[in-house]
Structures are given as structure tokens and as C-alpha cells.
Amino acid sequence: MISVSDALDHLFALANPLGSEEIPLIDAAGRVMVAPVRARRDQPPFAASAMDGYGTIDPTVGQKLEVIGEAAAGHRFDGEVTPGTCIRIFTGAPVPENITHVTIQENVTRDGDHITINDLGTGDNIRPAGGDFKDGQTISSPRRLTANDVALLAAMNIPTVTVARQPKVALISTGDELVMPGENPGPDQIIASNTFGLHAMLRNLGAMPRLLPIARDNEPSLRAVFDLVDDADLVITIGGASVGDHDLVAKVAGDLGMERAFYKVAMRPGKPLMSGRLGDAMMMGLPGNPVSAMVCGHVFVAPVVRAMQGLGHQPALRYSAQLAAPLVSNGPREHYMRADVTPEGLTAFERQDSSLLSVLGASNALLVRAPHDPPRSVGEKVDYIPL
Ligand code: AMP
Ligand code: MG
């Protein structure tokens, strides 16, 4: 058996970064930008009013000023503001050069063409030119683009971005007992859940997953499904990966030319795991137990998919929190316990069997325990992977 971190190193060695493509900004959220970009203008491009009010020159309390014009967003005031005068001004409007303050409308009394200043308020309410960003300012890469990033790129006048190609992932369930959700299962059958969970996870990671038909527990069926892999960058099989009589994935993948990189990882849940190159694709064989498959998704598949998108070789992000309930000592394998994290701390669920999707569904954290971790008491800090 090898450690989780050795297994990840093997996987990263097999995960080739994919090429890039240029896409419209409107489609860029969630994609990984792989080339840096430069702002094409200053923002704001002119000193801009931050409030609705009156553009004034060195205002004082009690001062009476004549209103000689107006500046609105998109419409600057072209005249000259001289001492004793002011202009009506609105949020986003260019501020004329000799205006020193935007006095908010709540702080003046208006009477016809004149205002009287009642209060100076705080600050000048003027946003300086380039105060947000300057022409040429860069956003570095690689970076998975968030909604906030897309807003910033749009403001920088960047209409297209260069992003990593989306990994194409073929998902294969194996087992005579499996039917698809919505079908009528026979008395000895269950519903294939793992491929659906992993499909959802892969979408969130920016990949393009595809469900292949369920492979039955015989070599011709598994071979026929492998034939449908097509141009996938990553092939993920689920189940059939341990040492039972019906566990054929290693045999069939081997016959198809896969050089197996490793087989068993010292972790709970999810011990049987294999990987290798299969033609142009990388292959990962995950365990069949539903929680094992999903935990392996978080611990192994997600970092691999990120590496393929150019985000480097990073294990799943970990945080730490205090324990809200004690833990007994851990066994020889790294344990990813289904847990609940709240402001009061982390609590591992009592039932940790690797078949319990209801417990995984109620969890928002995987509490990570090192092999042979001693008993832990309330208040001790432990690591967790947020779900
Ligand atoms: P296996 O690794 O094929 O021996 O499967 C281990 C356990 O996981 C068995 O109880 C299977 O029925 C179950 N299992 C395998 N594949 C899936 C799947 N795609 N969805 C749900 N359960 C599965
Ligand atoms: Mg099976």
C-alpha cells in the first residue's frame, strides 16, 4: 500500500496539462485563465462623482452658490465653474477639473437656481481617475475565473480570454447490479449513483464529463464500453477494482495496454485505486462503494482535473478547526471522516461506513486524520477538506 500523498504524486505524473483556447468573456466563469491579461484603460477613466449632489469649489457652511449647469453619467459639463457657482452632479458623472467637492444633496437647501450649504459631510466624494485600476495593470495566470473576475475583466475592456481546454472525462460504472436512476430495478439491483455524483463534481471543476453505458461484470461488456471512450482525456471507472472474482477492470484495462501505476492506497474510505495511461488518455479506477468513490473524487480526481487545466500540482485545499467532539485513535490508514463543521467546531458523524450516501449528504467537511493519529479531545485543532 502507498500513502495518499505518494498516490497523488503518481497521478500528477500521469496528468498532462491540456492545450488552451480563446473564448468570449461571457462564457469564462469557472474556466481557468492560462495567459495573463492587461487592462486596456484606466477605471474610472476620469475623476468621477461618487454621489448625487452639487459640484462645489472649497465649500463652506452657510455658503450660497448659483447652480449654473449639470453633469450626469455619460454627459460631462462643458462650461466653467467659477467661485460663487456650482453644478448639479450625479453619480458616475465626470467631475470638472476645478471642482474640489461633491456636496451631497442631503446637505444643501435648494431654492430655485441657488443652493445653501448646510453641512460639509466627510470626504470629497470624488473618485480619482484610475483609482480602481490603471491601463496596463495585469491579472496573473493561471487563475480559475470567478464571477467577480469576469466583472473586473469586463471593466478592463477584455472581450475574450485564453483558457485551458476543458478536460473531457468518460465515466464508466461497472456492475451487474446497477440500473440508471428512473429505471425499474430488479429485486437484486441498486441504482448507479457514483457516476452521477462524479459527473456533478466534474462539472463544477470545469470539466466536460460524459456518462458511458454501465459495463456488466464480464470481459466482453467492459471491453465494449471501453471502445466508446473516444477522445476522452480522462477515463474514470467505478467499481470492479478490488480483488473479487467479478473485479475485471484491471484485467481488461491491462489487455487494452494500460500500464498500471499503482493499486492500493492507505486511506479510508477508498483503498482500491488504480491509474495509468490508456492510449492518449489517463485512466483512474475508483472503488465502487459510493462514499469511497466520492471521497476519491475530492481527494484524487479534483486535483488531477485541476492539474490538467494548468493549475499545478496541488492536493485538495485543507482548513483547520477545533474539535467539537472527541475522536478515538486512528488506524494505519489516512481517514477521511464525514463531518459537520459549524462555528462551534468539527464533529465527525458516528456512522462512517463507506456505503452511506445519506451521511455524506449531511456532511460539509471531510475531517482528515493521519495514519495512527492518537485520540483527540474537544478543542484540539484538526484538518478538514470543505465539501
Ligand atoms: P465493487 O467495487 O464493484 O465491488 O463495488 C463495491 C460496492 O459498491 C458494491 O456494493 C456495489 O454494488 C457498489 N457500487 C459499485 N458501483 C456503483 C455505482 N456506480 N453506484 C452505486 N453503487 C455502486
Ligand atoms: Mg462490482
pTM score, two decimals?
0.91
pLDDT digits (tens, 9 = 90+) for 232-281: 999 999 998 876 677 799 899 999 998 877 778 999 998 888 899 998 99
- Atom 7 of ligand 1: nearest residue by CA position: 289
Name which residue sits closest to atom 10 of ligand 1, judged by CA.
289
Atom of ligand 1 nearest to the CA of 177: 12
**How far is the CA of 121 from the CAs of 56, 81, 118, 193, in angstroms?**
13, 21, 9, 61
Ligand 1 in contact with 238 (CB < 6 A)?
yes
Contacts of 54 by beta carbon, 8 Å cutoff, 6+ apart? 65, 67, 86, 87, 88, 89, 102, 103, 105, 108, 115
Could you tell me if the CB of 240 is within 6 A of ligand 1?
yes
Q: What is the pLDDT of residues 39-77, one digit of tens each?
A: 999 999 999 999 999 999 999 999 999 999 999 999 999
Residues 6+ apart with CB under 8 A from 231: 168, 280
The partner residues of 117 in beta bridges, in order of sequence, read 108
Q: Tell me which of 172, 176, 188, 194 to substitute to probe ligand 1's pocket, judged by most ligand atoms within 8 Å of the beta carbon.
A: 194
Ligand nearest to the CA of 199: 1
* All three cell numbers of 36: 495573463
Closest listed residue to residue 279, CA positions, set 305, 255, 256, 248 = 256
What span, in angstroms and rounded, lies between the C-alpha atoms of 219 and 253? Answer: 10
Cell digits of residue 271: 483503498
Q: What is the pLDDT of residue 184?
A: 95
| Cell reading at 46 | 476620469
Cβ atoms of 272 and 244 within 8 Å: the answer is no
Q: Are 40 and 157 in contact (CB under 8 A)?
A: yes
Q: What percent of the chain has pLDDT over 70?
A: 99
Q: How far is the CA of 278 from the centre of ligand 2 (A)?
A: 21
Q: Which ligand is nearest to the CA of 242?
A: 1
